[in-house]
Structure 1
Amino acid sequence: MNSNWKIALSAIALAVSGGLQANVLPAAQENSPWYTDARENVEKKLQVSNSFKAKNVILFVGDGMGVSTLTASRIFKGQLAGNPGEEEYLSFERFPHTALVKTYNVDAQTPDSAGTMTAMMSGLKTDAGVIGVDEDVVRGDCSSVAGNEVVTALELAEIKGLSTGIISTARITHATPAATYAKSADRNWEDNSDMPEEAVTGGCVDIARQLIDFEHILEQRYSGVDVDGIEVTMGGGRRHFLPKDAAFNSPDAVSEVEGDRTDERDLTATWQEYYPEGQYVFDQAGFDAIDPSATTKILGLFNESHMQYEADRGNDIAGEPSIAQMTEKALQVLEQNQKGFFLMVESGRIDHAHHAGNAHGALADTLALEQAVKTAYENTNPEETLILVTADHGHVFTIAGYPKRGNPILGKVVNVGSEEPAMAADGMPYTTLGYTNGRGFQDLGQQTDSDAAYAMDIAAGRMDISNVDTTTAGYHQEALIPLSSETHSGEDIALHGTGPGSQLIQGVMEQHLVFHLINQALGLIEE
């Protein structure tokens, strides 16, 4: 070994032992904002000292919010603020603990939301397409449900005397929110008209009825249990709670007959009978009028089907609250319980925009979820509230090419050192964002409803987009494989956490461990 190497190794040894006083870092390196920012991040992590037990747990689920969606959304956020974008963070990406989560179902390599959310709510994996039941259930077979039901974190929180809440921008009977409270052999059994006759006569209850009768069903299932019901329920899906009779239409009904139920039940009226002190609302005015300090129960159904996409929310007939506004009001109601609470918040329309092949819609709804997380963090005590942010699965959504730093994330690829769009081997430009499969290209201008693409013919494959503005809300990215709808993906998703117990979020995890994190923090099951 030559003398220069010996001197260098001696200097390193002295530095490690604390004996070297001279700073060996070049000044340009030490003062670089990249270097100082990273050093400060490490120092912040060293200061984190969590307890393991929480008073409250809030679980945020971005439906379809895979890693590529997070990356594109943070860049989009930064660029909306006038910055290059790549250096940006979503609020929850600054949480101290992060892990990767495997998403497969028992019977599916690429999962669906019913199986994945059941895993997060119950602590075990199950099949695709079934809700609140284990893998021994046969999808669509009502007779296979009995004896295979699982108990959920929300139900256990109710039994423990905590307050509970469910929020979704999808139908509140859709797979993800339904997995917090329902047991069903098929995720599509949202009301009785969706069920086969043999399931109805066999004694299976539709998902909407299970939500309204939640308190009574839970008390019947477990002897000696006395619960007071879910405090806050807000989302879409009003049609599944109303009779198929125009006389029951809401003032903001879009359809000639809003309700779908064929059993003549008005479940909103039933809920009001159960909870006469509760407030049922269906529009922005009703939502705004709620005084959370004087309210113990809220049922909000803000649309016939799913709530509006965030980009399209201003076009709603009677107005809809944002996911952040719903989160804030829910917290104001739930925090009145001194024992604590469990709240699940789903941004369901990220998934739907991806299915429609519309990246703008998916990114806009991701940023809306970010605001909801920020609202929750700022309105709770970080020393007693565990906040988890995750997804149920990802999508076949890609970030590709070699675009230069700061290139519009929704734009065409412009390579480093160039000012003109890069050309593919076919002589046409291409976008950074794209989909492996789906309906493909559409240029719908400023159309903010992602679902508008379903009225168009499938147009998968390459298109000449030389004269198309791909950054508009209505642009739908090209897709390679033609399908009626873009699909989920099977890769891992992220789990971000802060607060008591979040230090257990480490490495690569199975998805059903999310339940066990919640249980550990709240002590839902006495060991």
Structure 2
Amino acid sequence: MFLRTLLVIAVCVNVGGRSLKNKGAPQRLLFDEKNKDHWNIQAQWVLRSKVAAPLNKKVAKNVILFLGDGMSITTLAATRVYLGQQHGHNGEELKLSFETFPYTGLAKTYCVDHNVADSACSGTAYLTGIKANSGTVGLSAAVKRGDCEGQRNGAHSVTGLMDWAQRAGKSTGVVTTTRVTHATPAASYAHSADRRWEADTDLPKKGLHCDDIALQLVRGRVGSKIDVVLGGGRKNFFPKSQRDVEGHNGYRSDGADLVREWLVKKTSMGALPKYVYTRQQLLELDVEENNSVLGLFAPDHMPYSLEAEDDDPSLSEMTQKAIEILSANKNGFFLFVEGGRIDTAHHETKARKALDETAEMAKAVEAALRMVDIEETLIVVTSDHSHTMTYSGYSKRGTDILGFSNKMNASDNLPYTTLSYANGPGYKPHEQFRRHNLMLDDINHLNYTYPSLVPIVRETHGGEDVAVFAKGPWSHLFTGNYEQNYLPHAMAFAACIGPGLTTCK
């Protein structure tokens, strides 16, 4: 079932199991990589599908932006193999759900002040259309990180897709597996000179006072109008003196109960709001009785999929419920969905978790495709930045992607893994001038930290371009190579929202 829905074989051959019939020659299945006809038919099928595909120039009633945080091209390639091998395939020949989209491009991810992006400046770029400084959210590059005065000066604030969609009368939503106040989702609604200012407790003790990100989600002009917010980060909405439903203390110092405030504000705006904190509550939510929902399912980030319990909703389940709620608006909707824990796993050099979270992202895209009319819904899938994981070694097909290269040992006669990192916590010091013997490690452990060249507490991002996949109205606008801040301009064009050029004007 998963193989059918999550992975698409890139060959579309076998043609009902038919074999190649030549007189006097042994019969061979077309789905056979040693058969030259396999490759000819595969390439011809792709060519014909591209030639026959008409350009969709309709107005995009709905827009869904999927963001795999840290989902590098290397991560995509490794995840294909990871997911394929779980279903008895080699894996390289398969595609993730969104890799079948007809149009792809490459986005350049650097910040204005750094050559390698963080999630704050990149989020500002692909959500507002403005490139920013590292560590800043929803502000132009006129504001440096930590500049509270610059944040308070509204002249430097920038808004984008979320604001434009709301002004056009569309419903809006944010779904993430991280804290809903984390840098990536925050860029859709907040203005912060420091991505770390998620709650008031994080703000500097001296100097000017700036609104924290959680506060802006509840009281901000854009944040308060978001109809669906699903993810983690519950602690940033409750005071330290209060415990949440799981017994965890809140983190706020100002005594504000922002969940209660959110419910009151939404009701005053004429909405029918609901606060949920378990998977069951989310799945049982009646969209006819509640047209706005705040779901905070963990005090911090949501758990990794491989460690999730029965009451933790998956990214797919949150995405489906969001679409179900937002689809009630006859004017359409804009939904931002982040698979955020790909990034945190890479920072820990836990490749197994990173690949699994990418697979979860592919499932969420597949779930969305089943629910929307792709003729009137533009779906864009991309990443904010890459990571330093590499995929190497000349291994034979079928070799465990999370295991050792089986071609040969290194020149020191010690084995090495197919996946490794340029830097990070997986560094192991040499022993008697020899590289650490990885055969002594339990590389099958869920939390195994993969080898790193340079010792660093947290692995860093990478600076190369990231892939962009698009399907639906005006998806052909997303081909080629472009700056990351181009993305929201193209999405706004297709949906007839925002102040710039659109297909309607």
Same fold, TM exceeding 0.5?
yes
Question: Within 1, Cα distance between the matches of 2:461 and 2:159?
Answer: 27
Answering whether residue 65 of structure 2 is matched by residue 59 of structure 1, we say: yes
Alignment of 1:177-188 (within 5 A): 177-188=185-196
Question: Within 2, Cα distance between the matches of 1:366 and 1:300?
Answer: 22
Tell me the residue number matched to 2:255.
Answer: 264
Question: Within 1, Cα distance between the matches of 2:144 and 2:441?
Answer: 48
Call closer, same or farther: CA 1:228–1:492 in 2, change over 3 Å: closer
Specify which of 297, 305, 309 is matched with residue 302 of structure 1.
Answer: 297
CA contact (8 A) 2:159 2:188 kept: no
Answering whether residue 184 of structure 2 is matched by residue 176 of structure 1, we say: yes
TM-score of the pair, normalised by structure 2: 0.88
SS, match of residue 360 in structure 1: helix
* Structure 1: 4+ residue segments shifted above 3 A: 27-31
Instruction: Spell out, residue by residue over 1:234-265, the C-alpha distance to the aligned partner (whole angstroms, 9 max, x if none).
Output: 010011100001xx312223x4xx21100000
Aligned length: 460
TM-score of the pair, normalised by structure 1: 0.84
Question: Within 1, Cα distance between the matches of 2:104 and 2:445?
Answer: 33
Specify which of 51, 56, 69 is matched with residue 46 of structure 1.
Answer: 51
Specify which of 331, 353, 377 is matched with residue 323 of structure 2.
Answer: 331
| Offset at residue 52 of structure 1 (A) | 4.7
Question: Within 2, Cα distance between the matches of 1:366 and 1:472?
Answer: 18
Q: Alignment identity in percent?
A: 41
Question: Within 2, Cα distance between the matches of 1:159 and 1:513?
Answer: 20
Instruction: Spell out, residue by residue over 1:8-58, the C-alpha distance to the aligned partner (whole angstroms, 9 max, x if none).
Output: xxxxxxxxxxxxxxxxxxx99996222211211121122222115200000
* Equivalent residue letter for 1:115: C
Instruction: Spell out, residue by residue over 1:491-521, the C-alpha distance to the aligned partner (whole angstroms, 9 max, x if none).
Output: 0110000000110111111100111111101
In our comparison, the structure showing a higher alpha carbon Rg is 1
Specify which of 395, 403, 412 is matched with residue 426 of structure 1.
Answer: 412
Specify which of 456, 465, 473 is matched with residue 446 of structure 2.
Answer: 473
Question: Within 2, Cα distance between the matches of 1:207 and 1:505?
Answer: 31
| Offset at residue 468 of structure 1 (A) | 3.9
Call closer, same or farther: CA 1:525–1:275 in 2, change over 3 Å: closer
Instruction: Spell out, residue by residue over 1:102-151, the C-alpha distance to the aligned partner (whole angstroms, 9 max, x if none).
Output: 10000010110000010011112111100001000121111112110012
Tell me the residue number matched to 1:152.
Answer: 160
Specify which of 467, 475, 478 is matched with residue 494 of structure 1.
Answer: 467
Question: Within 2, Cα distance between the matches of 1:229 and 1:148?
Answer: 21
Tell me the residue number matched to 2:8.
Answer: none
SS, match of residue 437 in structure 2: coil
Answering whether residue 41 of structure 2 is matched by residue 33 of structure 1, we say: no
Alignment of 1:446-485 (within 5 A): 462-485=435-458
Answering whether residue 396 of structure 2 is matched by residue 408 of structure 1, we say: no
Alignment of 1:131-142 (within 5 A): 131-142=137-148
Alignment of 1:135-284 (within 5 A): 135-145=141-151, 146=153, 147-198=155-206, 202-214=208-220, 217-218=221-222, 229-245=225-241, 248-253=242-247, 255=248, 258-276=249-267, 277-284=272-279
Question: Within 2, Cα distance between the matches of 1:259 and 1:427?
Answer: 52
* Equivalent residue letter for 1:152: G
SS, match of residue 197 in structure 1: coil
| Offset at residue 428 of structure 1 (A) | 1.0
Question: Within 2, Cα distance between the matches of 1:118 and 1:500?
Answer: 24
CA contact (8 A) 1:462 1:478 kept: no
Call closer, same or farther: CA 1:32–1:327 in 2, change over 3 Å: same
* Equivalent residue letter for 1:107: D
Question: Within 2, Cα distance between the matches of 1:174 and 1:458?
Answer: 37
Call closer, same or farther: CA 1:238–1:36 in 2, change over 3 Å: same
Question: Within 2, Cα distance between the matches of 1:378 and 1:179?
Answer: 28
CA contact (8 A) 1:355 1:485 kept: yes
* Equivalent residue letter for 1:85: G
Gaps of 5+ in 1: 1-26, 219-226, 416-421, 443-456
Question: Within 2, Cα distance between the matches of 1:81 and 1:32?
Answer: 25
SS, match of residue 524 in structure 1: coil
SS, match of residue 330 in structure 2: coil
| Offset at residue 466 of structure 1 (A) | 2.0
Question: Within 1, Cα distance between the matches of 2:430 and 2:251?
Answer: 29
Question: Within 1, Cα distance between the matches of 2:198 and 2:430?
Answer: 29
SS, match of residue 240 in structure 1: helix
Call closer, same or farther: CA 1:125–1:228 in 2, change over 3 Å: closer
Question: Within 2, Cα distance between the matches of 1:468 and 1:52?
Answer: 55
SS, match of residue 101 in structure 1: strand
CA contact (8 A) 1:30 1:36 kept: no
